[in-house]
């Protein structure tokens, strides 16, 4: 099982040297991948008193493709993953071009996690339809894979029309691995039909602490595997990414989270250090060092 870090988007600041130091520290500590979240704009909650979303306009979010291009130049081995790009709110051909560029600059180290998102404010700002985002993402995957593997593409779909045109340069990986994130049954079905893997954004809570609305993780993965079999695919070749958190816990709890993901057959686990009361970026580096020692020592 591969171990990665969640890039601490909302707490790392804007100093390029700090971003470089964090990525290089993760690589030198032996982590396999770095995963980055995506939000283009945030809602101003001063005008939205009933807002319940986890992020707002007060949260800093670096643009994933740009920052991964920068990190590609600062590292040599670390896999670069998006977790997840909200694909239906982006122009598909442009996203395919950007992903291909990151893959070229990194020497084939990109893993493209995509999702449909939850923030209708963001869709409005980007001029995209929030209500068709699931169906649109299905067509987007087809378009991107065609563009990544052919010099020129002709495609006619519900949302896309391409007439004998292609991107250049093509990515090193043909195609770039596409993973789908999301906790809903619809996301699990899409992942099983179309993706190379599935990404969870939640950690595994002990039974006594699990919210009543949260399904048992083992049942969710059982359903995912059933969908894979139903789609004529082998669960043995399908990736699963889990999430671990350091907040309000210590080495014993970190090991428990990682061990449970391993028992469930996860191929990847990423540790999130955000919203854990860490004082500065250096504290995030120290946290991933302690986590790595605890779970891999």
Q: What is the pLDDT of residue 297?
A: 65
Domain count, the chain: 1
Compute the distance between CA of residue 183 and CA of residue 200 in angstroms, rounded to an integer: 7
Q: What is the pLDDT of residue 215?
A: 59
Compute the distance between CA of residue 183 and CA of residue 213 in angstroms, rounded to an integer: 12
Residues belonging to the chain: 297
Least confident of 28-42, 116-130, 142-156, 201-215: 201-215
Compute the distance between CA of residue 87 and CA of residue 187 in angstroms, rounded to an integer: 13
Label residue 31 by pLDDT band (50, 70, 90): very high
Domain span holding position 108: 2-296
The residue assigned the tokens 């309000």 is 248
| % of the chain surpassing 90 pLDDT | 92
The residue-averaged pLDDT of 133-155 equals 98
Q: What is the pLDDT of residue 296?
A: 87
Q: What is the pLDDT of residue 180?
A: 98
- The structure's pTM equals 0.95
Let me know: does 82 contact 114? Beta carbons within 8 Å: yes
Compute the distance between CA of residue 194 and CA of residue 247 in angstroms, rounded to an integer: 34
Compute the distance between CA of residue 158 and CA of residue 136 in angstroms, rounded to an integer: 8
| % of the chain surpassing 70 pLDDT | 96
The CATH number linked to 265 is: 3.20.20.30
Quickly list H helices, the chain: 16-28, 64-74, 92-105, 120-126, 133-149, 185-194, 217-230, 251-263, 281-296
């Amino acid at each position: 099982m591969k171990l990665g870090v969640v890039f601490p988007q909302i707490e790392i600041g804007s100093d390029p040297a700090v971003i470089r130091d964090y990525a290089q520290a993760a690589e030198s500590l032996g982590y396999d991948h770095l995963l980055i979240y995506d939000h283009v704009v945030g809602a101003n909650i001063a005008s939205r008193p009933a807002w319940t979303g986890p992020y707002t306009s007060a949260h800093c979010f670096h643009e994933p493709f740009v920052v991964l291009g920068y990190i590609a130049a600062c590292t040599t081995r670390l896999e670069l993953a998006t977790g997840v790009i909200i694909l239906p709110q982006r122009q598909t051909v442009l996203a395919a071009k950007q992903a291909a560029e990151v893959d070229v600059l990194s020497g084939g180290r990109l893993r493209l996690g995509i999702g449909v998102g939850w923030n209708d404010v963001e869709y409005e700002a980007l001029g995209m339809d929030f209500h068709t985002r699931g169906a649109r993402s299905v067509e987007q995957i087809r378009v991107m894979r065609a563009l990544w593997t052919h010099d020129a593409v002709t495609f006619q779909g519900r949302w896309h029309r391409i007439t004998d045109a292609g991107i250049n340069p093509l990515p090193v990986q043909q195609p770039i691995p596409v993973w789908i994130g999301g906790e809903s049954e619809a996301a699990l079905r899409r992942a099983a039909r179309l993706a190379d893997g599935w990404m969870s954004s939640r950690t595994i809570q002990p039974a006594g602490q699990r919210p009543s609305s949260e399904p048992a993780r083992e049942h969710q993965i059982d359903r995912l595997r059933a969908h894979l079999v139903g789609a004529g695919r082998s669960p043995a070749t399908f990736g699963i990414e889990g999430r671990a958190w350091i907040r309000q816990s210590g080495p014993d709890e970190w090991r428990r989270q990682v061990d449970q993901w391993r028992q469930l057959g996860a191929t990847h686990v990423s540790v999130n250090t955000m919203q854990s009361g860490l004082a500065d970026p250096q504290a995030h580096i120290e946290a991933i060092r302690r986590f790595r020692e605890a779970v891999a020592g």
